[in-house]
Structure 1
Amino acid sequence: MTAGTRALPVQDGDAALIARSLREPEDFATVFDRHYPRIHGYVARRLGPGLADDVAAETFLVAFARRERYDLTHPDAGPWLYGIASNLISQHHRAEQRRYRAMARAGADEVSDGHAEEVAVRLDAQARRAPLAAALAGISKRDRDVLLLVAWAGLTSEEAGRALGIPAGTARSRLHRARKKIRAALDRTSPTTTTTGEDHRP
């Protein structure tokens, strides 16, 4: 048994499937089925639905071509796939910037149905959408990548660092810097609201 396989909790973990796919390429289809919906959803949030299909599909084409280089000590291929997706998203930097700026200009949508409490919650969320989008457009791409991998993809800062090929400490520093800017933007829209801790995410 190799050092890579010792870390696998189950026989059909992502790492085991990727290893087997070197001999049986069709085994990679299970990795695709497991992760495609989340990768597609993440890309759609960053670039919009118009580009999501192509970028998500290309993520798995790149992953398949690079599967020989996958680190088999990591059973979950999610961070690796999000890293590939992030690199592809960076090729659409201008489209992402335009998306956030359009959201910032649009402001809150009208809400005319639902119970009063639900409407109030939705209005509050929509009121924050514009400054959030403006703040996302205003932070550096490097900081935004880490922030959104944590906030939208659900990765830890360590996983985000691994996905982007940077040290965990660098990822934490970028995350902290990005969160400070996001909090400042949201606090300007809600002066009576205070935020504490590290769990307030866009």
Structure 2
Amino acid sequence: MDTETETDDRLLGRSAKDARAFEVLVVRMSGVLHGYLARRAPAAADDLLAEVWLQAFSSRKSFDPELGTARTWLFGVARNVLAAHWRRIDREQQLPASNERASDPWHAVDRRLDAAAVGPLLRRTMAGLPHVERELLLLVAWEQLTPTEAAAVVGIPPGTARSRLHRARTRVRAVMQQVAYTRRLTGDPV
């Protein structure tokens, strides 16, 4: 089969015996994985992507298509590399370890929000979400994963992911509707 038309799952499976198949995955998936890392750790994204590919290559034989797609497996590797990065930063700064800090530096996300006026409120809303709900929402919204794929990345059942994603979307939607309503009342452009 031509590697250009071969699915990511087949390429990853075949890469255990043929390293050239892995090269095609690197070309196909580097952009989306780099985007995922750059939105969370802009200054370290290039190095983190390299680490993702090193870890993915060394553990490629562990990929099981019965447990998910190559895409979700690679996002899982990226998520683990990112978490290790934040834990390392925390240790270097001698800060107490925290799961919230170890997964997403929200102070950096705030600087990149397009709607500056809504940014602080949206940031507080997102920071107030439970960690898994926030991660699911970001994987679906930013990384364009399906809820089932995001569930596999986070390591929870798809039904649980859908309900948590619904809760997160409902909270964010309520805040954004309140902002729109307030702006209409005050005559500010929405």
TM-score category of the 2 structures, normalised to the smaller one: 0.7 to 0.9
User: Residue 146 of structure 1 aligns with which residue?
Assistant: 136
Instruction: Kindly state the Cα deviation for residue 65 of structure 1 after the two structures are TM-superposed.
Output: 1.8
1:101–1:134: 8 Å Cα contact kept in structure 2? Answer: no
**Which residue number in structure 2 is paired with residue 61 of structure 1?**
54
What is residue 26 of structure 1 aligned with on the other side?
20
Query: 2:64 aligned with 1:71, yes or no?
Result: yes
With over 3 angstroms needed to count, the CA separation of the structure-2 counterparts of 1:70 and 1:95, relative to structure 1, is closer
Residues in 2 aligned to 1:153 and 1:102: alpha-carbon distance in whole angstroms: 18
Instruction: Report if the CA contact (8 A) 1:79-1:163 is conserved.
Output: yes
Equivalent residue number for residue 106 of structure 2: 100
Find out whether 1:129 has 2:119 as its counterpart: yes
Corresponding residue of 2:7: 13
Q: TM-score, normalised by structure 1?
A: 0.69
SS of the aligned residue for 2:138 comes to helix
Write the distance in 2 (CA, Å) between the matches of 1:192 and 1:102: 27
**1:191 partner letter:** Y
Unpaired stretches in structure 1, ≥5 consecutive residues: 1-9, 109-121, 194-202
1:46 and 2:36 correspond: no
Q: Which runs of 5+ in 2 are unaligned?
A: 87-99, 184-190
Q: Distance in 1 between matches of 2:12 and 2:61?
A: 8
Contact kept? 1:16, 1:75, Cα under 8 Å? no
Deviation, structure 1 residue 133: 2.2
Alignment match, 1:4? none
Counterparts in 2 of 1:164 and 1:96: CA distance versus 1, 3 Å:
closer
2:83 is aligned to 90
Aligned residues: 167
Q: Distance in 2 between matches of 1:137 and 1:89?
A: 18
Query: What amino acid maps onto 1:61 in structure 2?
Result: L
Question: Quick one: distance in 2 between partners of 1:53 and 1:107?
Answer: 18
Cα-Cα RMSD: 2.9
CA distance in 2, matches of 1:187, 1:66: 45
Query: Would the aligned equivalents of 2:139 and 2:145 in 1 still touch at CA under 8 Å?
Result: yes
CA distance in 1, matches of 2:153, 2:167: 19
Aligned equivalents of 1:102, 1:32: Cα separation in 2: 27
Encode CA deviations 1:61-109: one digit per residue, 9 max, x unaligned: 2221221121235895222211222233334252765x423554x698x
Q: CA deviation at 1:11?
A: 6.0
One-letter code aligned to 1:77: A
Tell me how far 1:182 sits from its aligned partner.
Answer: 1.7
2 CA distance for matches of 1:57 and 1:132? 31
